[in-house]
Structure 1
Amino acid sequence: MDVALDSLRFIDLSTSSIIFLFIVGFIGGLVSGFIGSGGAFVLTPGMMSLGVPGTVAVASNMCHKFPKALVGAIKRFRYGQVDIKLGLVMAVSAGVGVQFGIKLQRIILEKWGQSGSNLYVSLSFVAVLILVGGYVFYDAMTADKSGKPKPGVSLAQRLQKIELWPMMTFKTAGVRISMWFTIPVGLATGMLAATIAVGGFVGVPGMIYIIGCSGLVASATELVIAFVMGLGGTVNWAMHGMVDIRLTVIILAGSLLGVQLGAIGTTIVKESLIKFVMGSIMLIVAVSRGLAVPKYLAELGLMDVDPGTVSIMDKASFLIMCAALTFGALIILGSMYKARKANAAEEEREAIVRV
């Protein structure tokens, strides 16, 4: 059975569905430009909440990702935030991870069907979002008022002291570290990008806490990696008929608008806010996907759940997803407005002083 064609029965492209997908794409792009993630932890669950099969949501998301990532990378390169060398080095190992991840997803789909694939995607989301989101949120909350983390020797600083050939220097990131420490981060980023359409919320924290990049450079450089992974992964997924171009076009249209605003936001807000937004959205989305798990367990015959209960949990999952989207958009846009207002007031005061 062609899963991509079968997806036509799952999604109703009514006016409301198109508007919802466009908004999801816009906020996904906003988040992508702001924190460097491809926004998949918003987009994939958003599509699945409408009934799109996990594999189709992953493949269609990846298809829209690489042009959006290219736009964001160019925008932030002009701001001097992208480390091209680091991005290309990590893209190599990420590319290997992508191919492995696609193979794993296909094995799950063939053995347990669409319900098994949906369960795998949802459980993976919950596990990774709680783990990474919780750590990032904690780090943001324990930073001092200036947005800088509390003093101490970080894991990245310890790794940078290990002289393991070949050592590589990344000028924009201001980091000198062994190439071997970049490989696990790249592999994990690529594998997750291919299997559950995520990558940025592993790649960005990985570059911050393992390699030692600043939040701004890590989030910008991740866009380069996302472009390379997205291009290669899309070709592979499309060859297996998993890409639903309708979904891709709709979310891409919204994303291209959002990513521009998100990239601008990184130049006028504190770095700790980027981490706060990233961690908060991850934890909210984790709750949303967690509520969908019993439905897939019931479909596989692994849990006896009342249909009424499943319906309620489905609706709750969708509403929480909407809450996550709204929360992220309001925080990012609100912070940008406050920062611009403060900058304008400062410029006005300087003008008065000069007069």
Structure 2
Amino acid sequence: MDILSLDPSKFIDLNAMAITFLFLVGFIGGLVSGFIGSGGAFVLTPGMMSLGVPGTVAVASNMCHKFPKALVGAIKRFRYGQVDVKMGLIMAASAGIGVQIGIKIQQVILAMWGSAGSDLYVSTSFVLVLVLVGGYVMKDAIKCARCGGEEETTALAKRLQKIELWPMINFPRSGLRISLWFTLPVGFATGMLAATIAVGGFIGVPGMIYVLGVPGLMASATELVIAFAMGLGGSINWAMHGMVDIRLVLIILGGSLLGVQLGAIGTTYVKPHMIKMVMATIMLIVAVSRGLAMPTYLTKLGLMNVGPEMLDLMNKVSFASMCLALLVGSGIILGSMWIGRRTQLAEAA
């Protein structure tokens, strides 16, 4: 694709209902982002695609809105002492490389198979990552809740921290010491995924928790630093290829900036396992939504033959599942905040 080329067919018409929906999606995405540090893109990208936005434009626009929102969230949580800036900057360096490679892959797929191929690639990536990571995080959250909500460093993280592979780096804020070579793959994978589906937190947050041994609260906050760096670099690249819809960016950013601050405040009232529970719940519901949308793209590519009535039904159920994910996620977060706040007030009294 030529630099700075614009294809009007890639930009949807916006009406009042679409604008309202996008603003609400942005708000809930920001709420989730501030709470779990994932950038909230796993509701934003599918949310835009459910309105007919091409996958590449949804990913690019989502990434563009991400870095100012992530900056706001990172500053907010830094004030709560939850951000490991050193960890964030080191991982952001390798994540930046992953972003650029991921964008190149997206461009190749778009050139070879068109918008339907790109949409299928994004949706397939969503389903695979959401099911695998979401299932594991849910299992760990349930285990953590049963043991009283106290986090334990995984056996893998303990083994890696014992390996003396130069250069070893101390992360006082996270309370660990580990080789640089173990942080780089996590950062790179985070960037690759961010360029694919506009969210690297699926890899970044679990990677920091389960591979490096960073506490859950610290990992979710530090991911915002990485998201800022990835979003800035990726946005410039996508914009140079005419894939950023600034209208979508501004609408979802408006909602996100409100939600991200509320979500960040929510982390001060809940136990770490609740962050994992919210993350996993939304992941698994969104996986269903994207899975139901895949037959449409397969049919467009001639790889599946499904009748228009069935496709229409599946798309409606997909959209309904997306809305359910938004409601469930925001409900759990706000409910946890309410319960946590009441508990704190009761203890103070």
Poorly superposed stretches of 4+, deviation over 4 Å: 1-4
Shift of 1:145: 4.3
Partner residue in 2 for 1:280: 281
3-state SS of 1:293 partner: helix
User: Can you list the C-alpha shifts for 1:35-64, whole angstroms capped at 9, x where unaligned?
Assistant: 000111110000000000000000000000
AA aligned to 2:10 is S
User: Can you list the C-alpha shifts for 1:178-197, whole angstroms capped at 9, x where unaligned?
Assistant: 00001110111001101211
TM value normalised by structure 1: 0.95
Partner residue in 2 for 1:7: 10
Shift of 1:30: 0.3
AA aligned to 2:57 is V
Partner residue in 2 for 1:97: 98
1:129 aligns with 2:130: yes
Are 2:70 and 2:227, in contact at CA under 8 Å, matched by a contact in 1? yes
Partner residue in 1 for 2:308: 307
Partner residue in 2 for 1:65: 66
Counterpart-to-counterpart distance in 2, 1:241 and 1:168: 40
Counterpart-to-counterpart distance in 2, 1:235 and 1:83: 26
Partner residue in 2 for 1:321: 322
AA aligned to 1:197 is A
The alignment's C-alpha RMSD in Å is: 1.2
AA aligned to 2:305 is D
Are 1:99 and 1:233, in contact at CA under 8 Å, matched by a contact in 2? yes
Partner residue in 2 for 1:148: 150
Counterpart-to-counterpart distance in 1, 2:33 and 2:68: 12
Partner residue in 2 for 1:245: 246
Partner residue in 2 for 1:352: none
Shift of 1:153: 5.5
Are 2:154 and 2:211, in contact at CA under 8 Å, matched by a contact in 1? no
Partner residue in 1 for 2:38: 37
User: Which runs of structure 2 are paired with 1:167-186 in the superposition (5 Å)?
Assistant: 167-186=168-187
User: Which runs of structure 2 are paired with 1:11-30 in the superposition (5 Å)?
Assistant: 11-30=12-31
Partner residue in 1 for 2:225: 224
Counterpart-to-counterpart distance in 2, 1:272 and 1:211: 17
Are 1:4 and 1:244, in contact at CA under 8 Å, matched by a contact in 2? no
Shift of 1:4: 4.9
Counterpart-to-counterpart distance in 1, 2:219 and 2:276: 11
Are 1:216 and 1:271, in contact at CA under 8 Å, matched by a contact in 2? yes
3-state SS of 2:253 partner: helix
Are 2:74 and 2:83, in contact at CA under 8 Å, matched by a contact in 1? yes
TM value normalised by structure 2: 0.97
Shift of 1:3: 6.2
Counterpart-to-counterpart distance in 2, 1:4 and 1:199: 27
Are 2:153 and 2:210, in contact at CA under 8 Å, matched by a contact in 1? no
Q: Paired residues, what number?
A: 345
Identity, % of aligned positions:
70
User: Can you list the C-alpha shifts for 1:238-261, whole angstroms capped at 9, x where unaligned?
Assistant: 000000000000000000000001
Are 1:95 and 1:232, in contact at CA under 8 Å, matched by a contact in 2? yes
3-state SS of 1:165 partner: coil
Shift of 1:76: 0.5
Are 2:96 and 2:191, in contact at CA under 8 Å, matched by a contact in 1? yes
